[in-house]
Each structure stands twice: as C-alpha cells, then as structure tokens.
Amino acid sequence: ENGQAQVRNRRMEQSSSDPRTTRDNEGEVDAEEQENLKYGAKHVMMLIIPVSLCMILVIITIRVVTLYEAASKPTVYLVYTPFNDQNDLTTGSPISDGVINMLIVIAIVIVMTCFLVLLYKCRCYKVIHGWLFLSSLILLFMFTFLYLNEVVIRFNLAMDYITIALVVWNFGIMGIISIHWKGPLILQQAYLLIISALMALVFIRHLPEWTLWFILGGIAIYDLFAVLCPKGPLRILVETAEARNEPIFPALIYSSTMMWTVGMADGEPVGGYNPLNSNAPPVDNQPPEEQGVKLGLGDFIFYSVLVGKAATADDWNTVIACFFAILIGLCLTLLILAIVKKALPALPISIFAGIVFYACTRFCIKPMCDQMALHQVYL
C-alpha cells in the first residue's frame, strides 16, 4: 500500500510539474479573463448608449421647443412643491423654499418606496402591476399628448385633434403592450427611454429652479441609503427578489439584455451579478446572452433632468460638460460594481460629478471665455 501511494504521489508531482499542463491552465485562465472583460465592456456600452440617447432626446426637446427654455417661466408647479414664488406659502427665499420642497419630495419618495416594498413582501403583485400600469398609462397618453401638442405648436403644423388622438392612442397602446405584456426587446427599451425623457421634461418644466437642484442632490444621497443601508428599501426589495428567485418589475428597470415574461410567479429570473439600484437578483446559472446590466428608470430620469437643466442655460459648453460628467460617473460606478459584485446606487457619482461640472463650467469657464472673446484673446 505504501508503494502504491508513493507511485500516485510521483504521478501527481509529474503532472503538476508538466509545463504543457501549466500552459494549458494558464491559457484557460487568460481566455476566461478575456471573455469576462469582453462581456463586461459589451454591457457597459449597452447601458451608456441608452443613457446617452435619453439625455440627447431631452436636450433636443429643450433646445427646439420654446416651452422649456429658461425665459419661459412656468405658470404651474408640481403639487408637492408648495413653497414657490407663485404661492402664498413661501419663506421669501428661493434657497430655503428649495430645501423645504426637497425634504417634502424626499419624504414622499421614501413613503412610496416603502409602500412598494411592503406590497412586494406581502406578494400583492396585482396591486403593484395595477399601480405601475396606471403610471405608464398616464405617461404614455396624457404626457405624450401634451408633448406632441407643444411640438405641433412650435413647428406650426396643421393637425386636427382626431389625428393627434389616433397617434397618441396607437403609441400608448403599443407601449403598454411592450412594457407590461410581450414585445420585442428593442421596442420595450425604446418605450422605457421615452417614458424617462417625458418624466424628466415634466420635472424640468414644473419644478422651481432651486428646488430642482436641491432635489438632485437629495435624491442622490437618498439613493446611497436606499441601496447600501442594510435596512434600505431598495436593498430589501433586491434581497427579497433574490430569495424568491423572481425578477423585478419591467416598468421599473431598464435591462441591457432580457425579455420580460407575463406574471411574476411564472417568469424566469434574469440578470448577472451586477444589478444597479432596484435590479433583478444575481443568478449564476444564466447563459451569457441572458445576463446583463440593469439600471433603474429613476437613474435615467435624473440624469436627463441634470443635463436638461444645463441645456436651459443656453451654453453648449455647460451641456457637454454635464453630459460627459454623467457618463464618466456611470462608468466609474460600473467599475466599482465589477469589483464588489453587489447592488450599487447609480446616481451619487454621476449626479455629484454633473453638479460640480455644471457649476465650474457655468460660473467659471463660461465667464472667462466670454471675457477672452470680448478682448479678442485666443489661446
């Protein structure tokens, strides 16, 4: 027996010291690392492209439709921002009004998110689907009609209400089917981007200026708490979905590669190890073509709000600076995501980078460039 054991040990030592075996193992490791790198870069681009398209859509709308220009002062503000210059309920200072409005909005977001998590924990899927269905209905019909009406007025197009109603009806019904039932992936993604852009335009138009900036900063801080805190609502939502082996609702998530199925209980979970915000849980046995990075629609909305607000300043340098600051912040978030391999908030880095770039470009670089152009100084 001792002799047989020695023979086995020699064979194992020979196989471990065989240079061909070592080279094969190293080759397999290198191939795996290259595949992971290629897969990660592919899905990073599959998020950067839709984020860019959503922001570009908002920028074009603001630059073309005069309703959203800075000189066009809104006549109606959102109901949950009562402290403004058109209301008797004001402190007299736009900064203090903005802080109070921000606290009200954040409180509403926290209450609604906790209510959503409670419904999900109690398996009230029909209530959640009805809630999201109603929200999509309002966005795809009412907001689309208002947007189309402004575009028609801006370009002085001759279009009767019957034609507009038919266009909005077909557009809205197709969106409802694609998001909440079945449809091509590219169509679902397109509708999610349009919904995000419409919501961003509503915020830009109907939020007081200081309130909007405070909300951007406050929602980014709240995102840190909601995702990273052990008792954060979005973290509870992700962990509950992971424990139940279920996907998150399609009306809340943009996915780079997936097809949603009907019904929460019967749907197959999708996603890799890298969810962002309220994303689907990690599933290790998914094939590569079904894995993908997922981003909450709220991230698309607030990215577009920041860039859109910069576009109202009538300075392309500020717009471009904010645009690339957000993309750089998103890339840094995805880089950290690949390291820690757990759900991360997608707003903080991008939003704070965008705010810093906006302030530096608007109040430092732009005045300097104007003075240089005035005195004909060129570098």
Among candidates 260, 235, 230, 228, which has minimal Cα distance to 247? 260
Determine whether 314 is an active site residue.
no
* Beta-bridge partner residues of 255: 294
Contact 188, 178 (CB under 8 A): yes
Long-range contact list for 104-113, CB < 8 A, 24+ apart? Answer: 104/80, 105/80, 105/81, 105/211, 105/215, 105/218, 105/219, 106/215, 106/218, 106/219, 106/222, 108/80, 109/219, 109/222, 110/222, 110/233, 113/226, 113/233, 113/234
Residue from 24, 160, 284, 299 carrying the catalytic annotation: 299
Residue from 24, 223, 284, 370 carrying the catalytic annotation: 223
Determine whether 284 is an active site residue.
no
Amino acid found at 252: L
The DSSP 8-state label assigned to residue 110 in this structure reads H
Three-state SS at 6 = helix
Among candidates 83, 67, 62, which has minimal Cα distance to 211? 83
* Beta-bridge partner residues of 276: 344
Q: Which residues are catalytic?
A: 223, 299
